[in-house]
Amino acid sequence: MRRRRILAAGGVLAGTVVTSVASRSPDEHDLVSAARHPGSGDEPETNTESILPNTDHETTLYEIDAPRDGPTAMIFGGVHGDEYNGIDVGHEIAEGWYPDAGTLAVVPETDRVAVENDEREGIDGDLNRHFPVDGDPESELARGVWEAVERHDPDVVLDLHRSLGIYGVHRQYVGQAIFHSSDARGDELAAALNDAVPWYLPMHRFVARESHLSGPLLFHKAARELDAVAYLFETTSFLFDRETKNEMTRVMTAALLERHGLLEAEGKR
Amino acid sequence: MTVSLRRALTAPATIATYLLLVVPLALGWLKTSLLSPLALPGYLIYVIGTAIGNVFASRLAFWVYWIPFFAGCYGVAVVVGYGYELLRERFLTASNDEPRR
């Protein structure tokens, strides 16, 4: 009997470890790969500017101009300082993504004080509640961010976040979801993301939800006042480590750039 | 024809089931890329458990749910082990009852 128990335990342990290692998926997503490698044309030109220079909030906006004309997309990470996926991927984009057309503006550390303190909120609280429906942004940082948004007048806005749980599964959390304006391509982006979610994690599949845009959120204001196609992306910390959240964020960003004409899949270049 | 509680608690089928429910998910918890299809049963138990718990205790951090998960998986494993041992007992009895030729 003891031998049977040891054999059963050993067999299961060895089997699970082997299966786990064997089923790892190291392949880079095609669109992420396309974003990381320049196309055949000239390389994009990157410029930087400061939002709120010489203040506690000073943060860098990177502007990447592709060789061909096209739409302008703005991407924000670090609106909440402890949501590393947007911060990490924002820096990756600034340092080595190559759009094929248009202009890509990225702010990796939107609330830099919150990022430095490793906290959700900065000096004036939650930045993503400072963009009211009928009125000016409610804090110095929000006003600085909004001035940059108005100056670049983006066609597309993407705000990168992470939640602690899963939308529709855990009542007060919104992970694995794409909230978007009415003219957006949320369902297509969710489908692209779900190609990267393993079939054996069914509750982690992404959902797209059209937003009523009536809240004080940055992407709401961009959609309301600039008619931008606006998205708020939420991955989750629930059973996902930092690298997996980052990969989901990369796939979302690359798929969005492709759907909105800033990036071509590698086969089409 | 019965299976003792002690036997159900420590049967090889119980141990194997428990490890199958817990180990693949625990590996994935350490590193997400180590999740495999074998994690699916444990994953469903853990996610459904957290969803139910989250309704009643919304402020509870999700790591706390590993404790009821370990206990719940053992309960499931004991039921599977008991069932397996019962079937095995029946099969052996039926084999012994057959007339010798």
Task: Please state the ipTM of this predicted complex.
Answer: 0.87
Q: DSSP per residue over A127-167, as a string?
A: GGG---TTS--SSHHHHHHHHHHHHH--SEEEEEEEESSBT
Residue B84 structure tokens:
């397996």
Q: pTM for this one?
A: 0.90
Residue A72 structure tokens:
């302008």
The SS3 call for residue A67 is coil
DSSP state of A175: B
Q: Give A19: exposed, middle or buried? Use CB within 10 Å, 0-12, 13-18, 19+.
A: middle
Q: What is the number of other CB atoms lying within 10 angstroms of the CB of residue B83?
A: 14
pLDDT of residue A204: 98
pLDDT of residue B93: 82
- Give ∠ CA A38-A44-A48 in degrees, rounded to 5: 130
Q: What whole-number distance in Å separates Cα of residue A222 and Cα of residue A66?
A: 23
Pairing between β-strand A101-107 and β-strand A207-210 as defined by DSSP bridges: unpaired
DSSP state of B88: H
pLDDT of residue A255: 97
Choose, out of B29, B40, B44, B47, the residue to mutate when testing the contact with A (most A CBs < 10 Å): B47
Inter-chain touch A20–B36, beta carbons under 8 Å: yes
pLDDT of residue B14: 96
Most distant pair of Cα atoms in chain B: their distance: 68
Mean pLDDT by 10 residues, chain B (101 residues): 85 96 96 96 97 94 96 97 92 74 56
Inter-chain touch B36–A23, beta carbons under 8 Å: yes
Choose, out of A1, A12, A243, the residue to mutate when testing the contact with B (most B CBs < 10 Å): A12
CB-CB neighbors (< 8 A) of A198 in chain B: 35, 37
Residues of B with CB under 8 A from a CB of A: 10-13, 15-16, 19-20, 23-24, 27-29, 31-40, 43-44, 46-47, 50-51, 54-55, 58, 62
pLDDT of residue A18: 62
CB-CB neighbors (< 8 A) of B52 in chain A: none
Asked if A3 has any chain B CB less than 8 Å from its own CB, the reply is no
* Helix or strand holding residue A221 (H, E): helix A218-226
Inter-chain touch A239–B43, beta carbons under 8 Å: yes
pLDDT of residue B95: 76
CB-CB neighbors (< 8 A) of B24 in chain A: 16, 19-20
**Residue B54: closest C-alpha in chain A:** A170
Residues 203-222 of A with CB under 8 A from B: 203
CB-CB neighbors (< 8 A) of B33 in chain A: 24-25, 243-244
Pick from A45, A216, A53: which is nearest to A148 by CA?
A53
* A45-51 β-sheet, strand order: A45-51, A59-65, A101-107, A68-76, A156-163, A229-236, A177-180, A207-210
Mean pLDDT by 10 residues, chain A (269 residues): 68 65 64 90 88 98 96 98 98 96 98 98 97 94 98 98 97 96 97 96 98 97 97 98 97 98 83
Inter-chain touch B16–A240, beta carbons under 8 Å: no
CB A189 within 8 A of CB A256: yes
